Chains A and B, each alone.
Chain A
């Protein structure tokens, strides 16, 4: 099998980016990734763009970005896997290289959610399930889908709204140390608990924000990696799975089956037997606080029902068994849908290469990292294993 590595990464400032258009925002991360890798546009054999759109004006983001970034006439496409769009873009770029169609491929994810007013964003994202049977009659929203999981999980395992809030406190703490995060202030558990309900039992501070941002990674085949870097980050495993569009067709609401299936595949491919002790750091999909707790369990960091214990013991902080979301996560860094999965891989690449800000850099011992990116409410799941060690 042809091996594929990340050789350069870039991430824009996340937040409400009223100062840039979609193409300008995408360019911020593309430029950074080109400079980081030493690759020039003419060396790129294939470009994959991740964007969900709807709320932004450009319907063909791949073509406007390629023109602006000087990437023509390289082949391109847009991919969609809801909030896991970024990881899907990376998977397509990876596959093109592995198949021998490209030696260097770029995955760029961008979202400009603030081109529409909040009430339209709530509308569009609420439709991201089964439109006819869930949204049309019952007006479910994205927070509501996860709130349905939270109520079920809380009833089954006896955790509280305060327990959920521990995720927000941790991720805002690390967001405060990440200059590219949307929210750069630590918050207290009292502030979380005081915030108004969005969808019971989830409150404002349980939810990731509406974000503009972009992220870009450049991947290379084993044949050309050494021309660009001495410290490539190898993609050692990728798993992907799906689950029913209608939540009502799921058997239980205290975990995401697609994430478990995707993790199993990625672990098998990368030869991971016990994730704790293998990974130095992880990025997990904390679109809502409950999602991070379910992720710990779906990924095998904790037994079912015991995810909160990791938080209470601070095992997912730096110095713990498995530091998680040291960039602030979706919760504090922000969640520009199409960019999120790519920014996870960009962040982990820099963590493994020990290039992030000092006070959020974790110790790299084994040289392995994990990205867990969920689309919709477990409709799509992508799990990616990265490593400094080649197979």
Chain B
């Protein structure tokens, strides 16, 4: 059983316990583990899942489908934007072009995330790095054993399928 399944199992048992408290005591009130203080368990639950528009950066996703990681570029101001953005705040226009990122980079820094957020708990601890590619810098997961990594390490960008979610994203791969 992975960490997430264990947590879900605990939550399920807790849910049953709350139910029994309501039946026996008349309220969803339990005792705090440590202090013993009475705690009301919220009866209203929501799932947060946002609807995020990507119309302005649609080209980015088409690029990923073709195996490319793209940035936007304002040729008036000579500024490359990554994450890509559809507007250039410098000349106040939206005349940005799409360009492929120069795929030779080096790692600036990295970390290994051991204590994961709830929505990433089904993954094993993962390495996140920030790497420079030409005039832009990119945050992404780093493939391979983090023990051999150090700032300055050469990396390239690779489009990968994020499993088990199954969608396309990009990863830093040590060269």
Contacts and interface: CB of A to CB of B under 8 A. Distances in A.
23 contacts: A18-B35, A119-B117, A122-B116, A122-B118, A123-B118, A123-B119, A139-B113, A139-B123, A144-B128, A148-B128, A150-B111, A151-B109, A151-B110, A151-B151, A152-B109, A155-B150, A196-B114, A199-B115, A200-B112, A202-B111, A248-B136, A248-B137, A248-B139
Give me the 10 closest cross-chain CB pairs, A-B, nearest first.
A139-B120, A147-B111, A152-B109, A123-B117, A18-B32, A200-B112, A18-B37, A119-B118, A248-B137, A133-B83
Contact of A198 (B82, B83, B115, B128): B115
Contacts of A132: 52, 83
Interface residues of A, number: 42
B121 A200 contact: no
A120 interface: yes
A140 B128 contact: yes
Interface string A235-250: 0000000000011111
Nearest to A140: B128
Q: How large is the interface on B (under 10, 10 to 19, 20 to 34, 35 or more residues)?
A: 35 or more
Most A CB contacts (10 A, CB to CB) among B126, B130, B151 go to B130
B111 A200 contact: yes
Interface in A187-224: 196-202
Interface string B84-112: 00000000000000000000000011111
B118 A120 contact: yes
Contacts of A120: 118
Nearest to B131: A248
Contacts of A57: 42
Most buried by B among A126, A151, A155, A199: A151
B27 to A, nearest CB: 16
A130 B112 contact: no
B139 A199 contact: no
Contacts of B32: 18
A19 interface: yes
B139 to A, nearest CB: 4
